[in-house]
Structure 1
Amino acid sequence: MDRLPVSLQTLYADMVDRSWSGSYAELIEAGGAPYRQTIGGREFWYLKMPMVNGVRKKDLYLGPDSSEVQARLHQHHDLKAVRGERLAMIRSLRAARLPGPDPLSGKIMSTLAEAGAFRLRAVVVGSAAFQTYSPMLGVRFDNTAGQTGDLDIAQFHSISLAVDDAIEQDLLTTLQRADERFRAIPSPMDGRRTLRYAIRVGNQEEFAVDLLCPLRGPERGSITELKAMKSDAQLLRYLDFLIYGEINAVALYGLGVPINVPAPERYAVHKLIVSRMRIETAESQAKARKDIRQAEALLEVLLEDRPYELEAVWTEAMDRGPNWRSKLLEGVAMLKKPVIKAMQERMKLQLS
């Protein structure tokens, strides 16, 4: 592992807090008043919006009650000064060669953040999320993420219904604010439903955004509606495990984009699982190798720095049944020998 200076890890943590605080502060400065509401025995924060031309806008969802949310809501900022500080911090982090999104991915995430997607607990998954783990964990990974030409965003169906809020415009219109070339790609099974959003050059996709939703229980088709995102989404198994208990992060683009990503230990274990589902074609096998490289890079640091968190998530996955266990153990067998040995010792694994 190539350890980063503690100062960079601290700077990144401060950047996360300032980016999320700044997003709340901008809403409050526009005239919103935060309040707490109990729903189903849990407490959540909302923002009561001001009257405009005699009409009150719909209240905005801010998130579940926590000490972090409370602190961010009650901090008072000089927004102009804060923006300058955030820009300087981003420059310092990028000058240290920490990974950030490509310009189009950064612009899309920034546009989604402004539309409220991450406030509504949408989660960035895939390589864009992996990039945030380097400064978060204080290590420099060996170019394991790469650029993939796509961006994956996920959200629980239950959250999409429960927040009683939504992004400002439908997802296609929102994406077209980032790049007007985006088009909705219809599902081959039902042309009335949207499979994904893509920029195409000729017959080739140059860039794609996939909206994903967890599938648990019996099969119920491949597409569902996410009301909070004003879009259809692809249903995927194992995704619920990945995005449960999402964490705040920041993409190193612009002034810093406040996003949500999976917990790194969930990301690592999930990659072991999905790597064994990509074995049919040469392209999917290349993705499987990348899955293993990302899992390996994370496991190396998590086994040393967050072993208890990793063990808890590993046990949760193993307890989900024989199909989960077989995929996990097959994934572990694909790792480098030192990581396999460390996993065997920590998780008491018996590999054939």
Structure 2
Amino acid sequence: MDDLHDIRQVVLFGQSRESSTMIRTISCRGRLAGTSPKYALVGSRRYDVQRLSFSLNMGYVQQRHFLLSIMITRHSPLAHSAYHDLLSSLHDEVAAEIRGTPTRIDRNGRVYWYDTYRVGSDVKKTYIGEDSEELRLRMQRIKALRDDRDNRRRNRARLVRLLRAERFLGVDAATGSILHAFASAGVFRLGGTVVGTQAFRLYEGELGVRFTLDQTAQTNDVDIASFERLSIALDDSVSAPLESVLKDFSFEPAPTMDPGKTWRWKQTRSETLVEFLTPSFAEEEGLRPLPALGVHAQSLHHLNYLLAEPMLAAVTYRDGVLVQIPRPERFAIHKLIVADRRRDGPDSLKSIKDRLQAEFLIEVLATDRPDDLREALEDALARGKRWRDRIAATLERSPPLQAALGDMMR
């Protein structure tokens, strides 16, 4: 048992010509400590290796995945400040882009702001955002913000360079360019929310934690989710058809069972997918229209929970891109649910990735934002037995999650 104190990582190797996997433990000195350990010590926790093993039908392909991080590492105070300065400047840009007069509209008990301006003899209205004190204060400074746009743009570019120097993982250039194009078209302004692994990557700045490439489970796929009802209520639409935007990046509509209802695009020069999703409030998970975005979306159960009260985040691409993502505590709890409802089973590679992302976020949130985490969990548990059963099933497969959330589940 003394050898356990040397173990720092559990590394998974996919074996060629075999569908099973072999787990090896690596010591902190890089020495092979064993090939069939019963336990692995990660940080101060001991894990049953058998619970981490799973079957992969990978054929002749070899893949390696780091399953657990050694510990949570923080970005420097300088990086933390730079990220939030970048985010604040991108918020300022929203107000600086107002062309006409901000107009308040009350709809269904909520307050929205629109930019009202003339184009010839026509009066146009462009959605700005939902009412908040922060937005109102910025709209009071429109002229000053417009006059200082060039300086802010240069400063944002400097902040992005600083964050890269501080080893922010950020996004790759291909993903950054797609998100930039979507932002320019108004996707995020109109309620589009980045979900999936791309959203997970963006918590690096919000939470001030350092990610490794293995923790983010690198993928170039981009998933955008939005409420159908919000898309209808906003009475606005993207400035350019998204099909045209995607075509500029060599994306083509993927075939669907419903002709004319495209919700997924595939890039012809790579395997990258762009998918649009929306919450399902019916028994079936069919395709639903998103009028504001001009696309259809695959509806999914439990997605309404994830999209509640989204937040804005900065993408470190060019001089920064403002996007919308779910709140980290909701993302983490939602991962507990989807990990148990994957079509290829709860022990599939995707389900394991779901649990790993949940483990990482929950460990951070339990330390930094325990009240937010508890509130998000209580909300999910209150939504019915099926929700509770899925969360409990995922916790059964993850000792770290049991340790972190056990008291909250009682």
| Pairwise same-fold verdict (TM > 0.5) | yes
- 2:112 matches 1:44: yes
- 2:159 matches 1:89: yes
2:175 maps to: 105
Q: In the aligned structure 2, how far is the partner of 1:128 from the partner of 1:10?
A: 22
1:10 maps to: 81
Q: Deviations over 1:256-309 (max 9, x none)?
A: 110000000000000111111226269x81111111111011000101111111
Choose which of 213, 228, 236 in structure 1 pairs with 2:278.
213
- 2:306 matches 1:242: yes
Count of residues in correspondence between the two structures: 334
What code does the residue aligned with 1:24 have?
A
**Gaps in structure 2 of 5+ consecutive residues:** 1-71
Query: Does structure 1 conserve the Cα–Cα contact (< 8 Å) formed by 2:112 and 2:129?
Result: yes
What code does the residue aligned with 1:249 have?
A
Q: How does 1:1-352 map to 2 (within 5 A)?
A: 1-25=72-96, 27-28=97-98, 31-51=99-119, 54-56=120-122, 58-75=124-141, 76-77=144-145, 78-143=148-213, 144-177=215-248, 179=249, 181-187=250-256, 189-201=257-269, 206-219=271-284, 222-278=286-342, 280=344, 285-337=348-400, 339-345=401-407, 347-349=408-410
Query: Which of structures 1 and 2 has the larger relative contact order (alpha carbons within 8 angstroms, sep 6+)?
Result: 1
Deviates more, 1:322-331 or 1:64-73: 64-73
SS in 1 for 2:268: strand
Q: In the aligned structure 2, how far is the partner of 1:278 from the partner of 1:10?
A: 38
Q: In the aligned structure 2, how far is the partner of 1:20 from the partner of 1:332?
A: 38
Over 3 Å counting, the alpha-carbon distance change for 1:50 and 1:67 in structure 2 is same
In the TM superposition, what is the alpha-carbon distance from 1:137 to its structure 2 partner?
Answer: 0.8
Over 3 Å counting, the alpha-carbon distance change for 1:343 and 1:21 in structure 2 is same
Q: In the aligned structure 2, how far is the partner of 1:171 from the partner of 1:324?
A: 34
In the TM superposition, what is the alpha-carbon distance from 1:332 to its structure 2 partner?
Answer: 1.9
Query: Does structure 2 conserve the Cα–Cα contact (< 8 Å) formed by 1:186 and 1:195?
Result: no
What code does the residue aligned with 1:237 have?
H
Structure number with larger C-alpha Rg? 2
Q: Deviations over 1:213-250 (max 9, x none)?
A: 1001332x521110000011111111111011100111
SS in 1 for 2:88: helix
Q: In the aligned structure 2, how far is the partner of 1:259 from the partner of 1:24?
A: 15
What code does the residue aligned with 1:61 have?
Y
Q: In the aligned structure 2, how far is the partner of 1:312 from the partner of 1:271?
A: 16
The structure carrying a bigger helix percent of its residues is: 1
In the TM superposition, what is the alpha-carbon distance from 1:336 to its structure 2 partner?
Answer: 4.1
Query: Does structure 2 conserve the Cα–Cα contact (< 8 Å) formed by 1:169 and 1:230?
Result: no
What code does the residue aligned with 1:56 have?
D
What code does the residue aligned with 2:405 have?
M
SS in 2 for 1:44: strand
User: Percent same amino acid at aligned positions?
Assistant: 35
2:30 maps to: none
Considering only aligned residues, what root-mean-square deviation do their CA atoms show, in Å? 1.8
Q: TM-score, normalised by structure 1?
A: 0.90
Deviates more, 1:319-328 or 1:70-79: 70-79
What code does the residue aligned with 2:296 have?
D
What code does the residue aligned with 1:260 have?
Q
SS in 2 for 1:266: helix
Q: TM-score, normalised by structure 2?
A: 0.78
